[in-house]
Amino acid sequence: MRILFTAPFWSREVNSICRGAIYLGSKGHDILVITAQMTDSLKGKVSAPVHEIIGGTEFFRPYTNSKDLTWRPRLCWSEIQEKIDEFKPGVIFGFGDPFYRLPLLISRHFNVPLVMFLEYLRLDKFSLPFRGGGKIKKLSPKLYRFCANVFRSYLLRQCAAVMFSYYGDRSLASDIEPYCPLVRYVPWCTETDDKPVNVTRNRKTGIYIGSLAAFKNAAELVTAIPVILDRSETECFIVVGPGEYAPHIKQLAEQYGPRLLYIESVSRPEAMRLLRSSGYGYTPVTDCGLGFIGDCWGTGTPLITTHELDGFLRNGVDALVADGAQDLPEKINAVLNSDEMFLSLQQGGYKRYKSNYTARAVGEAYLKVLREVKGMSQHIRK
């Protein structure tokens, strides 16, 4: 199968999500990824070469940065046309909201079926097709939902299939089917690779890796850190990530000294090393953060949360769910002091990771949907 992927910024060294495409290339499919050379994200300001081939998957990066690809897709249109004319894709796989402009443009111009990958289906997470949507959401949520519904309906009608990765939105698939009948839940790829031999785990170190933003419920993280450090047996807590709550974390770091380590950004290999050397991961997220959760599972790091994420987490199996920040010390101490519980959470999380979140598992899920699209296209032609 000849598959064209589009994404804002993909690099094997930075993004676990691109590993599903690389897996398909390693299995003999012809894969072309069109993406950008640079981005400014959780991993910091990172870059990748204009052209590279990894495991049979070709990465073509004509855009200087991810913002150009997102908002100005025609900026490199002549180069993209030439590349696609040569590649001749059978299907386009676009990631996703709000990066829909480029795959939509390609699909229309080359008359190729479009599969869109979205993190969420829900309207309050759906972007509007213009800048300033955040202000509208804040000032008038009802108006925002109305506009998001109109735009979502339009965009979905352009797609042969839609995939989404947030478990809690599975019940919304029926709302999407009138616009796009092929709607499938596919987990986010969090391939972590094998454990390096030289990493030692400190059971009394906790860690959070992710954006320090309101939508990640970072306000709870600011509240929880003093509770964790003052009332649990945690000796050191590590926070990695940029965002609006970073100044609050920095103030806490000044207060707690070496017991609280704040790092604005790290490479993905370093993030995996930090996770493998920590005793547990804690996240306050309410309906997102699947990357960090999958990374905890893949690295065998017991996960402690304060929210079940719409039933996504299995309390006592692949995570311990505390009853708010004040309950965290009891849950943390239970994991630190019980080898049986520590091992049980490690095994439960890793089992779920192997079944659903590896490059192989996600790549095969992509392939299943793409084959459905191909079958539908052949049926229509007949």
**Structural domain harbouring 370:** 2-189+358-381
pLDDT tens per residue across span 242-265: 999 999 999 999 999 999 999 998
184 backbone φψ class: left, alpha, beta (φ>0; ψ -120 to 50): beta
pLDDT of amino acid 44: 61
Same domain, 210 and 337: yes
Q: How far is CA 292 from the centre of its chain?
A: 8
The count of domains in the chain is: 2
Residue 349 shares a structural domain with residue 368: no
pLDDT digits (tens, 9 = 90+) for 227-245: 999 999 999 999 999 999 9
Confidence of residue 374 (pLDDT cuts 50, 70, 90): confident
Q: How far apart are CA 235 and CA 203, in angstroms?
A: 9
Percent of the chain with pLDDT over 70: 97
- If you average pLDDT over residues 279-287, what whole number do you get? 95
Percent of the chain with pLDDT over 90: 82
**Mind listing the pLDDT tens digit for each residue in 23-58?**
999 999 999 999 999 987 655 678 899 999 998 999
Q: Which of 171, 177, 210, 165 is nearest to 361 (CA)?
A: 165
Q: Looking at the structure, do residues 250 and 344 belong to the same domain, yes or no?
A: yes
Question: Is position 194 within any domain?
Answer: no
Q: The CATH number of the domain where 320 resides is what?
A: 3.40.50.2000
- Asked if the structure places residue 208 within a domain, the reply is yes
Mean pLDDT for the chain overall = 93
> Are 50 and 142 in a shared domain?
yes
Instruction: Please give the DSSP secondary-structure letter assigned to residue 314.
Output: -
| Burial tier of 179 (Cβ tally within 10 Å: 0-12, 13-18, 19+) | middle
pLDDT classification of 382: cutoffs 50, 70, 90: very low
pLDDT-derived band at 366 (thresholds 50, 70, 90) equals very high
Residue 222, C-beta contacts closer than 8 angstroms, at least 6 positions apart: 245, 248, 249, 252
92 vs 133, residue with greater confidence: 92
Same domain, 344 and 362: no
- Say if residue 156 is in the same domain as residue 216: no
Judge whether 70 lies within some domain: yes
Q: Is 198 exposed, middle or buried (0-12, 13-18, 19+ CB in 10 A)?
A: exposed
Q: Is the pLDDT of residue 122 over 60?
A: yes
Q: Would you tell me the crossing angle of helices 218-231 and 246-256 to the nearest 10 degrees?
A: 10
Residue 76 has pLDDT above 80, yes or no: yes
Mean pLDDT, range 203-231, rounded to an integer: 96
